[in-house]
Structure 1
Amino acid sequence: MTTINYINTPEKLTAVCALIREASWLALDTEFLREKTYYPKFCLLQIATPDWVACIDPIALPDLGELFAAIYNPNIIKVFHSCRQDLEIFFQVTGKLPTPIFDTQVAAPLLGFQDNPGYAMLVSSFLNINLSKAHTRADWSKRPLTEAQIEYAADDVIYLCQIYQIIIKKLAELGRADWLKQDFAELSNPDIYHIDPAKAWLKIKGKNKLTGKQLSIIQAVTEWREKTAQREDRPKSWLLKDELLFDIAKLQPENISDLAAVRGINERVLHRYGKELCEIITAAKNQPPIPLHEQGRPTKKTQQQEAILDILTALVRIRAEENSLNPSILASRKDLEALLFNDDNDDADGCPLLHGWRYTMAGKELVGLLKGELVLGIQADKLAIMAAHN
């Protein structure tokens, strides 16, 4: 059984940093809480290599500068599973992101798994181990941590080490070891983890059903909610739930009495922010909304557009079969629609087919089809992609 090093003193931290600096790669995971806060509360950092495993206590160690300096060494690969929340903590603590990284959730579909497979699925598939769920809802901020909690947390990186080694071996055997470099590089883009309150409305589902004053109001109120949640470090839903944003946008309350009549409004929010919210709503009604990005995509496609999508789907199926992938992993119908209705097919925003391994495998040819540079034809009783003859 692997000995778990619990790191809760500066001396132990210095010792584990020496081990980190000798590693070529590290498996990492975090435990955190954010039920009562806007920002995640960093509670534990697990690190492992094939030779050792450590659970580092950031609550007991307020100064982690030496640790992050060691981890951020660009010669050390940082291995995660579903890294975004972990990297959000790294970015919050240090103001920057580590490179290079490897994410097993991103890599696994290249080996035939579904898109975004869960960690338990990979552990079961690769190692034939069923993960315990005993401490899934544990309060990781409470001290002391039990021995069972520490073992539970350590297991995640112990198994991650094993999974990583299997995945990179299989990727190399398939000649796909370099396919994910761009995908992983994009995960270390600070823009992903820097939340701009002015753009928070873009994540609100159903916003495309609003127009004019309603859209302007939901944009303004969502920005206010994000700023207030950040400033006070409290969950956004504690201020206004998403459904309340829509009710406010539709009812357009002009004063505190009108706002109080909105079903579900929190009394604390009403008394503390009511006047401010009414002023924001009134101002928003008198200014044009930020245009929706979805405007370029028609709500109902023509028969010609459906036919083009069918042709693009055929190319996807060809390339997926050649590479032993499920076509839905390579591109969904929604992805193809994003490509078709993109005003500039060289702009990767919002379309996974325009970057990373998907672009290499099919995206470049799909763009060629849409530009008329390539055609889909039949050769030797098989579909084939050929250069267009003008």
Structure 2
Amino acid sequence: MHDHGLIETPEALQSFLDTIAGTDWIALDTEFMREKTYYPRLCLIQLATLDQIACVDPLQLDIKLLEPLLFDAGVTKVFHSASQDLEVLYRELGRVPAPVFDTQIAASMLGHGEQIGYANLVKAILDRDLDKSQTRTDWARRPLSKEQILYAADDVRFLATVFMRLLHELESHDRMHWLRPEMEALSDPGLYEPNPEAAWQRVSGAKRLKPRERGVLKAVAAWRERAAQASDRPRRWILADDILIDIARRTPEDTAALHQLRGFPDGMKPPRQEELLEAIREGQALPREEWPQLPDKAKLTEAEEVLADIGMALLRECARRNQITAGAIAQRKDVVELLKGDGTSGRLGSGWRHEIAGKTIARWFAGDGELTRTEEGLQIRP
């Protein structure tokens, strides 16, 4: 494999792009920092084919030079656990690269577990141990060491080979049609656009609040999210989750009451304190019908609990027969949704999950068959 090393000039980048011209796929990874910021700061982009590899320095280059490659519909962009990389690139470019192939999702469809890490996948497929010495490195600091660059390059050096192996297995098992809808969903910009109005759902302790208190939490969590975005600081630096919960319960009415909250930051400026108080008042004024609701948890009778247990047994049996883990197909909540619905509800109601497990479970739930034990395992007979 030809290693182009660290690319820091437009000329070197163009030379690399000319070298890989005509490829129909490219392996990608990114290194970024966000410990001290709200938005991730892109620090490195690694790219590879089977015979070419390069690390591109976005702190020295305008990465818009990569747009023709990243947005070429004829070039598949290969990532492992793509969501964070795609979030970073969406932030930088305003668009999501497409089409995408995620080796973590592909591996789950071939029996490697639900969310296998990259190092474990490389070990499982290539029997290679990756260096983990740079896991906590500062990618924003320059110059980058030779060890950092080698470590980063390895993230795509082996990804290229892993991709080809997974692609071959998916095709030989006729599972590419399982993968396509999952991959297309990854390129939805809505996945990577911050939504302040939904920020309350990520606050630890939200489920323990009363409905009216959740109305206050929704308003102050949205305020915190916007404040974090405006200052490009982690949301916890604005206010910690436990303080948001305390505010939702106690609804302080003035700045003196705010400072009585345990852990409230002394350094918060008066204008921001007034914004917070206004958010509290906004949350208190929400009418009952606008109080945020927690997702309804299906209530099952004792008999339905037994049926759901058997549905889970069928899920595991279908998974075993297809040499895939049950968790990669569905969870218990999906089985319950199928039980409580019309047989076409939720993740098990359509697509590849329905094909290999959902239709079998739904058929038995509908009373269309008798569950028996055979030498091959569980089976439904008419």
Q: TM-score, normalised by structure 1?
A: 0.89
Is the contact between residue 33 and residue 41 of structure 2 (CA under 8 Å) also seen in structure 1? Answer: yes
Q: CA deviation at 1:380?
A: 8.0
* Equivalent residue, structure 2, for 1:295: 296
Alignment partners' CA distance in 2, 1:102 and 1:196: 26
Q: Percent identity?
A: 38
Cα gap change, 1:346 to 1:200, in 2 (>3 Å) = farther
Is 1:53–2:81 an aligned residue pair? no
Quote the Cα distance in structure 1 between the aligned partners of 2:186 and 2:363. Answer: 27
Name the counterpart of 1:232: 231
Cα deviation 1:123-182 (Å, max 9, x = unaligned): 111222221122111111111111111111001100101111111122222222331111
Corresponding residue for residue 186 of structure 1: 185
Q: Which residue of 1 aligns with 2:39?
A: 39
Pick closer, same or farther for the CA change 1:380–1:120 going to 2, 3 Å. closer
Amino acid at match of 1:274: Q
Q: What's 2:272 paired with?
A: 273
Of 349, 356, 360, which aligns to 1:361?
356
Give CA-to-partner distance per residue, 1:247-288, whole Å, 9 cap, x none. 111122111111111111112236452222122112311213
Task: Tell me whether 326-335 or 20-29 shows the greater mean CA deviation.
Answer: 326-335
Moved more, 287-296 or 273-282: 287-296
Gaps of 5+ in 1: none
Counterparts of 2:337 and 2:259 in 1: how far apart (Å)? 41
Structure 2: distance between partners of 1:276 and 1:28: 42
Residues 1:233 and 1:364: Cα distance change in structure 2 (over 3 Å)? farther
Equivalent AA in structure 1 for residue 355 of structure 2: T
Q: How does 1:113-124 map to 2 (within 5 A)?
A: 113-124=112-123
1:9 equivalent in structure 2: 9
Deviation at 1:293, TM superposition (A): 4.2
Q: What is the CA-CA distance between 1:5 and the residue it aligns to?
A: 3.1
Asked if the contact 1:354–1:364 (Cα under 8 Å) also holds between the matched residues in 2, the reply is yes
Alpha-carbon contact 1:21-1:70 (below 8 Å) kept: no
Q: How far apart in 2 are the matches of 1:246 and 1:386?
A: 53
* 2:354 partner amino acid: Y
Residue 366 of structure 1 and its aligned partner are, at CA, apart by 4.1
Q: Which amino acid aligns with 2:206?
A: K
What secondary structure sits across from 2:54 in the alignment? Answer: strand
Q: How many angstroms apart in 2 are the aligned matches of 1:259 and 1:354?
A: 49
1:375 maps to a residue whose letter is D
CA contact (8 A) 2:33 2:40 kept: yes
Given the superposition, is the C-alpha separation of residues 265 and 341 from structure 1 closer, same or farther in structure 2, using an over 3 Å criterion?
farther
Deviations 1:1-33 (A, max 9, x none): 642332111111222222343211111000110
Q: Tell me the number of residue pairs that the alignment of Structure 1 and Structure 2 aligns.
A: 378
C-alpha distance in structure 2 between counterparts of 1:162 and 1:6, whole Å: 21
Q: Distance in 2 between matches of 1:178 and 1:196?
A: 31
SS in 2 for 1:111: coil
What SS class does the counterpart of residue 67 from structure 1 fall into?
Answer: helix
d(CA) in 2 for partners of 1:61 and 1:197? 32
Aligned residue number for residue 375 of structure 1: 368
Partner of 2:73: 74
Tell me the residue number matched to 1:173: 172
The CA distance in 2 between the partners of 1:267 and 1:29, in whole Å, is 40
| Alpha-carbon distance in structure 2 between the residues aligned to 1:297 and 1:207 | 19
1:149 and 2:142 matched: no
Hey, what's the Cα distance between the residues in 1 that align with 2:350 and 2:226? 32
Alignment RMSD (CA, Å): 2.3
Q: Which runs of 5+ in 2 are unaligned?
A: none
Contact 1:30 1:46 in 2 (8 A): yes
The 8 Å contact of residues 39 and 233 in structure 1, kept in 2 or not, is answered as yes
Letter in 2 for 1:295: D
**Counterpart-to-counterpart distance in 2, 1:205 and 1:347:** 29
Secondary structure class of the residue paired with 1:313: helix
Q: How far apart, CA to CA, are the structure 1 residues paired with 2:220 and 2:293?
A: 16
In structure 1, the partner of 2:26 is 26
